[in-house]
Structure 1
Amino acid sequence: MDRQLVERFLSRIRQIRALVIGDLMLDEYLWGKTERISPEAPVQVVDISREDLRLGGAGNVINNLMTLGCQVHVAGVLGDDADGRLLRRLLEEKSVGIQGVLMSPDRTTSRKTRILASNQQMLRIDRESQNPISPEMEARLADHVRRVAEDFQVILVSDYLKGVLTEGLLKEIVAIGREKGIPVVIDPKGSDFRKYRGATLLTPNRKEAQTASHIAIVDEASLLQAGRFLAEALDLEALVLTRSEEGMTLFPRDGEEIHLPTEAREVYDVSGAGDTVLAMMGLGLAGELSLEEAARLANVAAGIVVGKVGTSTVSHGEILEVIGRRHQDTDLKIKDREVLAGILEMEREKGRTVVFTNGCFDLLHVGHVKYLQKARRLGDLLVLGLNSDESIRRLKGPRRPLINQDERAHILAALDCIDYLVVFDEDTPLELIEALRPKILVKGGDYSPEGVVGKDLVESYGGRVELIQFVDGKSTTNIIEKILQHYGEEGGLP
């Protein structure tokens, strides 16, 4: 994936509001060690050394969303018991909207207790209700979803077959999503997927897809058959079929299937990976990524969480670290404007001085390099604003630039003196300077201070303008003229 695209998307997640509907539960982890057999029965004795209580089920989807910075509201039904009240308090502590969480005296709040030793799960104990919620609860939940739906960019449905997501409620959720143009992304369960018909996207694993399609998935051909059948029969915009250590496959309504190999280095625990995929696919669609872009990002996130023990989440930094493995240093320096503005704000808080200059830098030459090296010595960071191809054509005519903006960006980013580079499309860098707020604005010595775009702005917040002389006789125009003199009459290069 393009790192700049990922950075831009991650920077905007805080603006996304997601509604999560589903089965809420508590995940309890008891960690210990085993060194003896019980005298009472031929079983291992686990000496517990640590306990951990987390949000589980749909709560793990919430954990993923909150870790990434999304605004979350949840709807579901809990038992009116001690665990139910504890779960509500945990949600409130995370600043999750819980107006849609209903309490029922007829239910037991789900708690799953896992006992682990030497990083291996030895036993799981479940305490829960699995009966369908009452018609009254179903109607109250549906009414709440209809009233608040327009406040959200995506609806995420996490079905663990604990009775909250009845067939009637699911049909109502899908209908609300279609009516209001809100993506409805569902992590399905069970043998009958017809209750999810009309959803935007489903994220089943291989076993679930096999059960629901009644097609034994034994090879790639049968996997494609099952995925295509479900996507078409259920009138989905797309289906993402997760395949554990083999990655995932995207089945879009329009277009060819896309196989995504696993991003995991090592697989320790796949529990919760489906929740991560659901969360990331939902955020991707809400953040206006394409289906393929969202699936690729979800695949990266899933590869991270299966390398952790227990249901886990993934952070911005972990995602960018994985994406960064595929790129060279030049890619890491080239930033989107919004992302770079955030980076520079943090650098200023550390007391670092940001220097900014801009230009076309078509046919990089020694004059450019000397100029940039001098600019870098004026502060702690040098940011280069690079004119896009379109802006150069407007400034210099249709025959320029000679080198396209992507190539120019990577060539310049390879210079040690440049810390960050951003491409801008405007005729002047004023809007870019407003966004980045450098302390020192640098231009060539052929300018007068009064003629430097952004001078008044930078000086208004205590910054200054510096002029640097170019190396005499070194310019792109001179290089072009020299080439034409040497080879123009000969009809080309020898």
Structure 2
Amino acid sequence: MRPLVVLGDALLDVDVEGSATRLCPEAPVPVVDVEGEWVRPGGAGLAAMLLATRTTPDVVLVTALGADTTGRRLASLLARDVEVLRLPLDGETPRKTRVRASGQSLTRLDTGRGRAAEAPLPARVRHAVDGAGAVLVSDYGRGVTAHPELRRLLTELTTHVPVVWDPHPLGPPPVPGATLVTPNEREALAVAEGCVDVADAAEAVRRGWGCRATAVTLGAEGAVLATPDSAEPIPVPVPDGAFLGAQQLDTCGAGDRFASAAVAALAEGADVTDAVVTAVDTASRFVAAGGASALSVHYADRRDGPEGTHFPGRSAFEFGEHVRRRGDRLVATGGCFDLLHAGHVSLLKQARALGDALVVCVNSDESVRRLKGPGRPVVPAADRARLLAELSCVDSVVVFEESTPSAVLERLRPDVWVKGGDYADDELPEAEVVRRHGGEVVLVPTLDGYSTTRLLQEALRRPRATVHDGRGWAPGTIGSKEAR
């Protein structure tokens, strides 16, 4: 099955939980004694997480995240279950904080007004959207769904792939031809000006937006479905088995659960009516079971470190998978790196500057011998890898046996593959592998005069070397104990 792609605006939801037993003396407001802070992905992040944990593990989220603390925390939360393809964000990552006492929300604080930046769409995003088995668009009015290239891709997908669109008043209208659009009652009535009846509004929205079907969600009343095949909109009530009678149900995330259940059903071959029936039932049970708050984790329980990126002792492939799931940009480069020199360091620093993490692919000893001759390498692979791993610009190292890194790149799938500018693009057999997985090949300038072969030739031309004999500098023979 092809992956389900969720596209839209992610945010961080925070619940500050406590108890309130007294009023503030300065104003008639409750004083909350904080007992803990609970966090979870919100918006498109919640929709993706619901799909990944309740429906299918193969979920890709396309969203815009900032490089701030909120963005890093959100990316770390998502990385457990979802592959995140990250778009740039102008401004701070949105965060919504609810202050709650004894299960009752007292106030909500919204911070972070960042919006998706107007930037070219990364190749990996285009590749993921083109290969989607179904798409859920989760719009929270932060600009992702307004990206012109994304809208063009989605318009093309509607002809052969289920596209469910959960709209937002501050976002653009869905693309024409969307399989199912899921506004709530207030949103539908606002779009269908002049309509008072929800059923009329559902049909007006369907016609106005040019979508195949509209399901207007009505909370505890279920939904109303408008399709071109029915003379009248179809009411879809909450099933008797879904308990919604309690007074203090937390409905946070109900719309995301409805839309995610609908797209999952459509992806499995259900028709629109059956998908909406399933979505009403699933969302009702989700709310009755505690809603989105049931997916929260206590912030003190996180063990990922400040940015959640270090994986000591794990393979480069595990590290690369973690970087991708965080939505960060994975860069890789490769070579023999025999006798590490300033030219190597310059290449590695330039490579690291092109993304968020750098994996170095190192030729094994046998691979170096095939490429450079029987006298090489000078430094064994284990030592070369250890030296590279000690550099601050290198995040992980992998040694490969083949003459080219094509096989290792097939598993690593970097966003960027970097080589020195002394290569030409058509000389890199691994370039096809990189591009097939949505990555790009970048050639960076090299430092003139630096190469291991040249250093060895220089050394061989000098029969004697200057060494320190404990009293001062004196001549010593290369290869002697003193010169080692």
Q: Normalization by structure 1: what TM-score?
A: 0.55
Report whether the alignment pairs 1:231 with 2:231.
no
Name the counterpart of 1:77.
64
Counterpart-to-counterpart distance in 2, 1:16 and 1:69: 13
CA root-mean-square deviation: 2.2
Secondary structure of the 1:48 match is strand
Question: May I ask how many residue pairs the two structures share in their alignment?
Answer: 288
Cα shift readout 1:207-255 (whole Å, capped 9, x = no counterpart): 00001111343xxxx2221111111222211111101121111112222
Query: 8 Å contact 1:249–1:259 — kept in the other structure?
Result: yes
- Structure 1 residue corresponding to 2:103, chosen from 119, 140, 159: 119
Match of 1:101 in 2: 86
Instruction: Select which of 126, 131, 136 maps to 1:146.
Output: 126
Equivalent position of 1:409 in the other structure: none
Once residues 257 and 4 of structure 2 are traced to their aligned partners in structure 1, the CA distance between those partners, rounded to angstroms, is: 14
- Please report how far the alpha carbon of residue 78 of structure 1 lies from its aligned counterpart in structure 2 after TM superposition: 0.7
- Name the aligned partner's letter for residue 203 of structure 1: T
Alpha-carbon distance in structure 1 between the residues aligned to 2:290 and 2:149: 34
AA matched with 1:241: V
Report if aligned partners of 2:4, 2:132 keep a CA contact under 8 Å in 1: yes
Out of 272, 294, 300, the residue aligned to residue 291 of structure 1 is: 272
1:291 counterpart letter in structure 2: V
- Asked if 1:269 is matched to 2:245, the reply is no
Flag the 1:194–1:120 CA change in 2: closer, same or farther, 3 A.
same
Letter of the structure 1 residue corresponding to residue 251 of structure 2: V
Equivalent in the alignment of 2:38: 52
CA distance in 2, matches of 1:129, 1:187: 21
- Separation in structure 2 between the aligned mates of residue 123 and residue 199 of structure 1, nearest angstrom: 36
Contact 2:94 2:114 in 1 (8 A): no
How has the CA–CA distance of structure 1 residues 212 and 173 changed in structure 2, closer, same or farther, with 3 Å as cutoff?
farther
2:151 corresponds to which letter in structure 1?
K
* CA distance 1:78–1:140, shift in 2 (3 Å): same
Q: In the alignment, is residue 168 of structure 1 matched against residue 155 of structure 2?
A: no
Aligned equivalent of 2:112, options 124, 128, 131: 128
Note the C-alpha offset of 1:192. Answer: 7.5
Structure 1 position 65, deviation (Å): 0.5
- Asked if the contact 2:139/2:171 (under 8 Å) is kept, the reply is no
Classify the secondary structure of the residue corresponding to 2:216.
strand
Correspondence for 2:227: 252
Aligned residue in 2 for 1:201: 180
Instruction: Give the 3-state SS of the residue equivalent to 1:311 in structure 2.
Output: helix
Q: Which structure carries more helix by proportion?
A: 1
The change in CA–CA distance for 1:305 and 1:249 in structure 2 (over 3 A counts) is: same
Q: 1:158 aligns with which of 127, 138, 144?
A: 138
- Alpha-carbon contact 1:167-1:195 (below 8 Å) kept: no
| Residues 141, 170 of structure 2: 8 Å contact kept | no
1:330-409 equivalences under 5 Å are: none
Are the counterparts in 2 of residues 119 and 309 from structure 1 also a CA contact under 8 Å? Answer: no
1:41 to 10, 22, 27: 27
Q: Indicate conservation of the 8 Å contact 2:129/2:153, yes or no.
A: no
Q: Is the 8 A contact 2:100 2:106 kept in 1?
A: yes
Deviation, structure 1 residue 116: 1.0
* 1:16 and 1:286 in contact (8 A); partners too: no
Spell out, residue by residue over 1:106-156, the C-alpha distance to the aligned partner (whole angstroms, 9 max, x if none): 32111111111121111111112254x3321xx315x54432234321011
Letter in 1 for 2:178: A
TM-score by length of 2: 0.56
Paired residues of 1:35 and 1:45 also in contact (CA < 8 A): yes
Contact 1:20 1:158 in 2 (8 A): yes
Counterpart amino acid of residue 211 in structure 1 = A
Secondary structure, aligned partner of 2:121: helix
Q: SS in structure 2 opposite 1:79? A: coil
Is 1:306 matched up with 2:306?
Answer: no
Aligned partners of 1:78 and 1:103 also within 8 Å: yes
Q: Which amino acid aligns with 2:252?
A: S
- Secondary structure class of the residue paired with 1:165: helix
Tell me the percent identity. Answer: 32
Aligned-partner residue type, residue 111 of structure 2: R
Matched, 1:182 2:176: no
Distance in 1, matches of 2:292 and 2:141, equals 18
C-alpha separation in 2, matches of 1:39 and 1:313: 34
Q: 1:167 deviation in Å?
A: 5.9
Contact 1:269 1:308 in 2 (8 A): no
In 1, the alpha carbon distance for the partners of 2:227 and 2:105 equals 36
Kept in 1: contact 2:165–2:174 (CA 8 A): no
1:169 and 1:85 mapped to 2: Cα distance?
Answer: 26
Structure 2 equivalent of residue 282 of structure 1: 263
Is 1:21 paired with 2:18? no
